[in-house]
Amino acid sequence: MRALIQTIKNIAKIEDLRYRIGYTLFILLIYRLGSYIVLPGIDPSQLAALKSQTSDGLLGLLNTFSGGAFANASIFALGIMPYISASIVIQLLGIAIPYFQRLQREGESGRRKINQITRYLTVAILILQAPAYLRNLQVQLPESAFVLKGTFFWFSSVVILTSGTMFIMWLGEKITDKGIGNGISLIIMIGIIARLPQSLLAEFINRLESQGGGLVAFLLEMVILFFVFIATILLVQGTRKIPVQYAKRIVGNKQYGGVRQYIPLKVNSAGVMPIIFAQALMFIPLTVAGFANSETLTGFAAAFANINGFWYNFTFAIMIILFTYFYTAITINPSQMAEDMKKNGGFIPGIKPGRKTVEFLDTIMSRITLPGSIFLAIIAILPAFARLGGVDSQFSQFYGGTSLLILVGVVLDTLQQIESHLLMRHYDGLMKSGRIKGRAGGGSAI
């Protein structure tokens, strides 16, 4: 406790860090307030049916990511997921289309151009999603809930919903530029945290009212959740650096040097991004169906709107594994790593510099990514097993899955940035036992 108090005092002494944290909290407060502003023309007292629709299932997960804005018929109802979807499309185009490949190589100017294209694509997605959301409101809410009707209501609401998501994007960019942490990730995380107290209380009440174990069952759930939480932290942090001896065993090379050296690779180099990408794509069938209840859907849409179903979870897991390889491939460049080693006079004992080093690093990365991606997929589908075990639908979303992975990953990244500010000004870090390792934390070069 004394160390925590001292750390808070150290943070207060650093003006720049104090400003960044305060600015971040202020922007997040604006976002949370906006999630309660109901669309003009809708009576907020008649949203009971919409809240019931989003109490569980895939819509419940979508409502969690929007921080409850979806169920509130808020101006921020569509959340940040359209932007995530647009980012996925642009990154995929970067593999297949030379124009985007050229932009990726142009440095800062290319990055600005890609960001601009991503924003345009986000608007296009929003123009498709906003009418689907409004149609869902018409189906779920009584006619008396609509104070305004007709073309004007539809046009104004589409504009407001589109502007709401674009405003959230702007808030995220402001946090990244002037605050602490990644703005978009923090906005997703704060929406998830906002749902946690309500979900925990609902599970506690549900267990007290049940006839099968009551409080003992609830305590057992908390113990299991604790171990899942620890496993998630280990997964997000991955391995900071891999000993050369172990790396050579991975590729079948039995000749290793006597000095213990490390390769700057991680078992989970992609962090939580694959699960965010996969989850964004899993929302597409529901969007195409007009945000309908899974009970009213049939065929393909029904299979992929049932988050407890086999096909939903099987497809979700496969997509996470594929996206883990994809994201690792675009973020880890063995050729660049080998070149940097050569420039700095580094080498891997027993491996020739140049092409052999590239092949060695590429083989290691390919083989260690598989267990990391499988573990990530298992953590992602754990909520389905929790629901099958009787855990409340809302609370089960924190039993692993997208919610817990994003929560842990973003918190670690943010704490890592705060610690970097403290260490840069010669203060103790947040932990005496060692540096905090976030998603982006890599090992040092050889």
What's the pLDDT score for residue 52? 77
Q: How far apart are the first and last CA of the chain?
A: 37
What is the pLDDT confidence band of residue 124, given thresholds at 50, 70 and 90? very high
Contact of 146 with 41, CB cutoff 8 Å: yes
Q: Indicate the pLDDT class of residue 61, thresholds 50, 70 and 90.
A: confident
User: Position 207: which residue type?
Assistant: R
The predicted pLDDT at position 419 comes to: 80
Question: Does pLDDT of 445 surpass 50?
Answer: no
CA distance 373 to 306: 23
Spell out the domain ranges in the chain: 2-424
147, containing H or E segment: none
Per residue in 181-232, pLDDT (tens digit) is 888 888 988 888 887 888 888 788 877 777 656 778 888 888 888 888 887 7
Helix 355-388 × helix 334-343 angle, to 10°:
130
Q: For position 256, what pLDDT does the model report?
A: 43
pLDDT at 399: 75
Token pair, residue 355, equals 């092409």
pLDDT at 444: 29
pLDDT mean over 165-186: 90
Least Cα distance to 200 among 331, 375, 391 occurs for 391
- Mean pLDDT computed over 341-360: 75
> What would the two tokens of residue 387 be?
């629901």
338-364: string of b/e by CB count within 10 Å (b at 16+)?
beebeeeeeebeebeeeeebbebbbbb
Question: What is the per-residue pLDDT for 25?
Answer: 92
pLDDT at 404 over 90: no
Asked whether the predicted pLDDT for residue 239 surpasses 60, the reply is: no
Q: Do 161 and 57 meet the contact criterion of CB atoms below 8 Å apart?
A: no
Among 18-22, 104-108, 226-230, where is mean pLDDT lowest?
A: 104-108
65 phi, psi to nearest 5 deg:
-65, -30
pLDDT, position 424: 77
257 pLDDT more than 80: no
What percent of the chain has pLDDT above 70? Answer: 79
Greater model confidence, 251 or 49: 49
Residues 6+ away with beta carbon under 8 Å from 281: 85, 88, 319
Query: What is the second-level CATH architecture of the domain 2-424?
Result: Orthogonal Bundle (1.10)
Mean pLDDT of the region 41-67: 78
Picking from 377, 357, 345, 350, the residue whose alpha carbon sits closest to that of residue 265 is: 357
pLDDT at position 161: 93
Q: Give the residue from 252, 264, 267, 241 showing the smallest Cα distance to 341.
A: 264
In the predicted model, is pLDDT for residue 40 greater than 50? yes
Instruction: Report the pLDDT value the prediction gives residue 298, as an integer from 0 to 100.
Output: 59
pLDDT the model gives residue 434: 52
Highest mean predicted confidence (pLDDT) among 232-241, 354-363, 434-443: 354-363
Judged by phi (left if over 0) then psi (alpha if -120 to 50, else beta), residue 293 lies in beta
Q: How confident is the model at residue 446 (pLDDT cuts 50, 70, 90)?
A: very low
Give yes or no for residue 260 having a pLDDT over 50.
Answer: no
Higher-confidence residue: 421 or 75?
Answer: 75
- Higher-confidence position of 381 and 250: 381
More confident residue, 251 or 207: 207
- Return the minimum-mean-pLDDT range out of 44-48, 70-74, 182-186, 298-302: 298-302
CA–CA separation, 338 vs 82, rounded Å?
37
Q: What is the pLDDT of residue 158?
A: 93
Q: Would you state the pLDDT for residue 261?
A: 54
Q: Distance (Å, rounded) from C-alpha 399 to C-alpha 307? A: 14
Q: Rounded mean pLDDT of 163-177?
A: 92
The whole-number pLDDT of residue 117 equals 92
State the CB neighbour count (10 A cutoff) for residue 127.
Answer: 14
**Confidence category of residue 168, pLDDT binned at 50, 70, 90:** very high
On average, the pLDDT of the chain sits at 77
Token representation of residue 212 = 């099968």
3-state secondary structure 417-440: HHHHHHHHCCCCCCCCCCCCCCCC
Q: CA–CA separation, 194 vs 129, rounded Å? A: 24
pLDDT class of 156 with cuts at 50, 70, 90: very high
317 has a pLDDT exceeding 60: yes
Amino acid, single-letter form, for residue 10: N
Report residue 75's pLDDT band, with 50, 70 and 90 as the boundaries.
very high
**Percent of the chain residues topping a pLDDT of 90:** 10
What is the pLDDT at residue 121?
Answer: 92
Closest CA to 352 of 255, 246, 243, 438: 255
The answer to whether the beta carbons of residues 287 and 304 sit under 8 Å apart is: no
Contact between 127 and 162 under an 8 Å Cβ cutoff? The reply is yes
pLDDT, residue 443, reads: 33
Secondary structure of residue 68 in the 3-state scheme: coil
